[in-house]
Amino acid sequence: MLKFFPNKIALITLISACTIILISMGLRQTFGLFFKAFEEGIGCTRTEFGLAIGIQMLFWGMFAPLFGIIADKFGGNKAVFLGFIIFGLGIYMLYSGPNTGIFFQISLGVLVGIALGATAIGVPVSEVGKHFPNETRTIATGLVTAAASVGYFLSPLFTQYSLGEVGWVQTLKYFMFFIGFGLIASLFLLPAKTIIQSSKADRDQTFISAIKEAFSHKGYVLLVLGFFVCGFQITLVGTHIPGYMQERGMGGWSATIILALIGFFNIFGTLGMGYLGTKYKKKNLLSILYFLRGLSICIFIFSPPSMLNSIIFGITFGLLWLSTVPPTNGIVAQIFGTKYLSTLFGIVFLCHQFGAFAGAFLGGYFFDNYGSYDYAWYMAIALSVFATLVHYPINESRIERVDNTI
């Protein structure tokens, strides 16, 4: 225990980040379960719903690097606290109104999306990464990502039950209590005592030079492109799996079971990937992971609909769900160091959210225009092939910077 945690601040930060991401990612995972309630309650179409989730993903991505800059310069606790304030405003507006038409897009899309840029994945994972050396970083970030899995498992179960018992308005009011806990937890996302670097040149690197260096590195560009695929796939599943299961004649609980199983088995997937990242090349692990994602989707959509098939998909895709995060964040830190980790990973995550926008919007668009989600699934499979190939050429070697002051 003492060997794994460099100091008490690292332990406190890890617990805080786990709490933050459990709440934020857990709530975000449930929005797909509201599609029917929003259709009946405020009259939105699936295209409008998909667009709102797509906007949410896009703003999440655009603001992830901005909140990363805030975290790198002023502290992750300040960035996340502000994010939860905005999160609460978005949820409040969604149930209290105005919440139709453009206001639906603003509340569920813009405000919640901006909030996720601070509270989900990017900042909490990167802030934890700053506290741990390369030898244990993927394990630490895997623990944080696994906390999101706990939220993924519990939140759909709670939400489906609450929707049935008290309706969507009261369910969203319950969400406000969770956001309050997130605000408290954010106060303990403490900065690292020292920046884990190897030279004075690393410590003295400027923000602008870090950005230029990253985009001149072929491996970073490939990592950015590869993360687009992750965003497309998980958002397609998270947003449209309830509608897809309904289309295939399955009951509402089949989608809930899939989402819950994804959350539960993602715990093992992220922890396992965090451990494997300390033993094997992270780029190879990512190539294998994306190949298996494509295989899992193929089996799911080309097999007859059944509860057994739903369970198998929930388990297999759950093992692969957020397992991309520890090795992706680990590669960024391993190549460039941790001084600007929140910012550089935030930029990688921006491309993830471009993919998420495409997955959310195109799923609804294809259904409304062709009466089926099949074309979206075919795209997800093709993108798996792309991601399998694009990660392999990445050079994970650390950049050695020269101290020009000597």
Q: What is the pLDDT along the chain (406 residues), one digit of tens a residue?
A: 447 777 889 899 999 999 999 999 899 878 878 878 888 888 877 778 878 888 888 898 889 888 988 988 888 899 999 999 999 999 999 888 787 888 999 999 999 999 999 998 878 988 888 888 877 888 888 888 888 878 877 888 898 889 889 999 999 999 999 999 999 999 999 887 665 555 555 666 778 888 899 889 999 999 999 999 999 998 899 888 888 888 887 866 788 888 888 878 988 998 888 889 888 899 999 999 999 999 999 999 999 888 899 899 999 999 998 889 889 988 998 888 877 888 888 889 889 888 988 888 888 888 888 888 999 999 999 999 999 999 989 988 888 766 554 4
Please name the helix (run of DSSP H) or strand (run of DSSP E) that holds residue 20, with its range, or none.
helix 8-29
- Positive or negative CA dihedral for 292, 294, 295, 299? positive
**Ordered DSSP codes for 299-320:** HHHHSPP-HHHHHHHHHHHHHH
177 CB-contact burial (10 Å; exposed 0-12 / middle 13-18 / buried 19+): exposed
- Cα gap 400→105, rounded to integer Å: 45
Three-state SS for 257?
Answer: helix
**Over the stretch 74-107, which tens digit does the pLDDT of each residue have?**
888 999 999 999 999 999 998 887 878 889 999 9
Give residue 361's pLDDT: 84
Amino acid identity of residue 254, one-letter, is S
**Over the stretch 378-393, which tens digit does the pLDDT of each residue have?**
999 999 999 999 998 9
Please provide the size of the chain in residues. 406
List the domain boundaries for the chain.
8-189+201-390
Residue 9, token pair as written in the block: 């601040």
Give residue 178's pLDDT: 95
Give residue 204's pLDDT: 66
Most distant CA pair in the chain, distance: 70
- Cα gap 348→2, rounded to integer Å: 32
Give residue 201's pLDDT: 56
Please give the C-alpha separations between residue 307 and each of 156, 206, 256, 287, 389, in angstroms, as whole numbers: 17, 54, 11, 30, 33
pTM: 0.77
201 in Cβ contact with 95 (< 8 Å): no
Q: How big is the CA angle at 279 (ends 277 and 280), to the nearest 5 degrees?
A: 70
Candidates 173, 144, 175; CA nearest to 16 is: 144
Q: Is the peptide bond before 191 cis (omega within 30 degrees of 0)?
A: no
For residue 326, the number of C-alpha atoms closer than 13 Å in the C-beta half-sphere is 37
CB neighbours (10 Å) of residue 308? 10
- Cα gap 287→355, rounded to integer Å: 18
CATH level 3 topology of 8-189+201-390 = Growth Hormone; Chain: A; (1.20.1250)
For residue 143, the number of C-alpha atoms closer than 13 Å in the C-beta half-sphere is 19
Q: How big is the CA angle at 109 (ends 57 and 320), to the nearest 5 degrees?
A: 30
